[in-house]
Amino acid sequence: MKKTLKAIACFVLTGIFLTGCDTKTPVEANYDVIPLPQSITKTDDTGFTLNGDTKISYPKGDEIQKQTAEFLAEYIKLSTGLTLRVTDEAADENIIVLKADYQADKAESYNMNVNSKQIVINGSDAAGTFYGVQTLRKSIPADASQNIVTFPGIDIKDSPRFGYRGMMLDVGRHMFPAEFVKKYIDILALHNINRFHWHITDDQGWRIEIKEYPELTKTGSQRAQTVIGRNSANYDGKPYGGFYTQDEIKEIVDYARKRFITIIPEVDLPGHMLAALATFPNLGCTGGPYKVSETWGIFDDVLCAGNEETYTFLENVFSEVIELFPSQYIHIGGDECPKTRWKECPKCQAKIRQLGLKGNAKHTKEDMLQSYVMSRVEKFLNSKGRRIIGWDEILDGEVAPNATVMSWRGTEGGIAAARMKHDAIMVPTSYLYFDYYQTDDTKDEPLGIGGYVPVEKVYSFDPVPKELTEEESKYIIGTQANLWTEYIQDSKHVEYMVLPRMAALSEIQWVTPEKKDYEKFLPRLAKLMELYKKLGYNYATHITDIAAKITDEPAKGTIHISLFTYDNAPIYYTLDGSEPTEKSLKYENQLEVNSSTQIRAVAIRKGEKSKEYTASFGFNKATFKDVRLQNEPHKNYIYGGAPVLVNAKKGGGSFSDGEWLGFHKDDFVATVDLKEPVDISNVTIGTFISPGSWVFGATEYSIAVSDNDKDYKQVFDEKYPVLDESNPDDRIVDLVAKFPTEKARYVKVTAKVTNPIPDWHAGKGHPSFVFVDEIIIE
C-alpha cells in the first residue's frame, strides 16, 4: 500500500517534486584522457549538460561525418544510456556539432570547444573530427547511466605527434575470427591508432584467399598439428587451419576505413614461406617435400630466388592483394631469411652470376641476392602505385630504393635508414613486442614468448633516437607495437596481451615527449580501464599492484626501497617474512636495508588486499663489490651492467626484468674483487633457461681464486649436458660450487654458453644465450 501511495504522489506532483522522484547525481566529464590532448584551456563558461534531447549534428550531405556522428551516439549510449538523435539540421543550443574546416598545420588535428549551448568538434579533416569524438567519448565516465553528465567549459587544440600510428596482429601462427578482427580494429580506434598491420602469411599458415591459387588455402592454410608450448617435443595431434575469404577481407577493410584505420597487409618473403612451399614445392630450392610448419622458429627452406616461377607467383599474389587493400603501403617482410639453401642452389648461384652480385666485408653475395628479390618486388608494387615496408633486415645488402624500414631488432635499423634518407617505423622488441610478458611475476600469467615489457617500459620509449639530427629525425614517420601469436590461441588472450599496454603505445604515438609523465599517466589509465571493463575487454591489471623503486648506495652498503600505488592507496608491510595486514607497519617513508631482508607488502582498498608485493635482498661477501666482465653482454641485455650481478637482488621470472645479464656466443666470465682476502667455500650463480627464446643453460661452471688477480687456482669445475627437448619450460637453475675453504681476494666465475644449439631445436647450429644473476659468495 505504501508503494502505491508513493507512485501516485510521484505521478501527481510536478516541477521540482516530480524531478526529485527520479534524481540523478551530476558528474563531470574529465578531459584528461589517453592520449592526452596537446592543449586543454579552461574557460569561464558554465559548461554543457547532456540530456536526452541533445542532438548530434553533421554537415548536410557529408556521409563520412554522418558515420562519425552515429559512432558518437553509440558511444554516448553505452556510457549514459541516452539515445541521442543524429541530424543534419543546425541548432543553436543543446547540440554537439561535428565539422571539418579547422585550420591546422597537421593532418588529423582537431579543435573542441565546449560552452553552455553546444560542443563543437572541428577537425582539420574527417579523421581529426573522429579523434575529437574519441576524446569526448573518453571524457565521459565509463558508467554514467545513473548520472547527469556535465562537460566543463574548455577549448582543446590537439594534433598527433606522428602520422603513422600502428599496431600489428599476427594471424599466421594462430588465426582469429573475422568478427574479432573487427573488435581489434575498434580497440585500435579507441586508442587513436590509424594503421593496422595485418600479418597474414607465415610458415605455419597462409590466411588469405588468392583466387589465382586456390591450392594456397586448401593446403597452405592447414597444418597437421601444433607443437605444445615453446617448441617442446610434444604435439597436440590436432589439425589446425583456416583463412579469410576475399569477401571477409573486403568487409574488414571497409570496417577499418570507417574508423580511419588503414590496413597494411604483410605477405612475408622470401623467408617464412613454408606454407606456400608446402603448396607449391617447385618454388623452393630443393623441390621438397615441404609441410606447413608445426613448430615455431626460423627455417632454412625459403623461396628460391633463382627461379623465375617465384616472381610470377609473387606478382600474381600481390596483384590480388592490392585489389583487396587500398593502402599506400604493402609490407613484404624480408626478415629471418637464412641463406643456407641459396648457397647450395644451382639456380640461385646462377642468378648471382647473371646479376654480377658480389659480397663485401659486411654482406655476402647471397645477402645481395635478397636485396635483388626485395627490389624486384618493390618495382612491381611501385608500378601499381604502391610502396613497400620491410623489416630492418632489408638493410643487409642494398636496401630497395623507396623502401620504408620497420626497425625491430632495436633502434639501429631505424637510425641507419634515416641517415640513408629512408622513412623508418620504430618497433624495437625490448619496448614494443606485446607477446613479451608484462610482469616479471609470470607464474600466474598466460603463456608468452618470454621477455619483460611492462606498461612503464612501453611508456618510456621515445621513437626518435637522440643520435639523429633534426633533419634525420624527419624520416622517423612513426611507431607501432607487434603481437606475434605463436603462444596466443584465442581472442581473450590477444586482448590481455595488448591491454593496457596499447594505452602507453597510444601516448608515445600521439603526445610530444615533454608532456609525458608516467605518474600522471597512471590515474588516466585507471580511468580508461573502467571503459575497458564496460566494453567487456579482457585486460591486465598489473598497474593496480604495488610498484617499487629500488636504488642502491654501494658506498654505504645500503638499498633504498620506495613503494607506491597509482592511486595512493595505503600500503602495509612486514620485514620478517610474515603476511602483511592492516595491522602491519604502514608505509610512510622510504625503507632502507643493509642486511638480508624480505619485504612483503599489500595495498588495501575498501578492505580488499591488492596482489602481494614481495622482494628479497640477500647480502653476502660479494654484495656491492667490484665486478669485471671479460666479455660484454649482448647489447639488448646489458641493463645496469656488471653491478647488477652483486646488488643483493636475484633475477626474477623473466630474463628481461633488468636483473639478468645476457651473453650471446661468448661465455660468461666475471671477476669479483672482494677488496681483501677472505675465507670462501661456496660460490652460487643463478642461470635462466628459456629454450623457446634460444636461452640455454651453461655447459660448464668453474671457479678460480687469486690473491693478486694474476695467478689463479681453479677450485671447482663441473660440466653439464646440453639441454634436451624433454623440458621446454622457462626456469631458473642455480649453479652451486662447493669446495674446501680458500682464502682469496679475487674470485673468477665462468659459465660456458651452449654453442651450437642442438639439432632438436629450431635454432640448431646457432649460438645460444646464457643469462646470469646473482653472484653469491659465502
Residues known to be catalytic:
202, 272, 336
Whether the CA torsion 208, 210, 214, 216 is positive or negative: it is negative
In degrees, rounded to 5, the angle at the alpha carbon of residue 486 between the alpha carbons of residues 481 and 489 is 100
**DSSP-based three-state secondary structure for 757:** coil
CB atoms inside a 10 Å sphere around CB 555? 7
In degrees, rounded to 5, the angle at the alpha carbon of residue 483 between the alpha carbons of residues 477 and 484 is 120
Residue 183 φ then ψ, to 5°: -60, -40
Task: Identify the helix (H) or strand (E) that includes residue 7.
Answer: helix 2-12
SS3 sequence of 84-140 = CEEECCCCCCCEEEEECCCCCCCCCCEEEEECCCEEEEEECCHHHHHHHHHHHHHHC
Residues 301/290, Cβ–Cβ less than 8 Å: yes
Cell numbers standing for residue 609: 588486499
Q: Which of 114, 26, 100 is nearest to 69 (CA)?
A: 100
Strand partners, 86: 56
SS3 sequence of 605-660 = ECCEECCCEEEEECCCCCCCCEEEECCCCCHHHCCCCHHHHHCCCCCCCCCCCCCC
- How many contiguous H segments (helices) and E segments (strands) does the chain have? 19, 40
Residues 131/94, Cβ–Cβ less than 8 Å: no
Residue type for position 138:
K
Strand partners, 123: 110
Residues 776/622, Cβ–Cβ less than 8 Å: yes
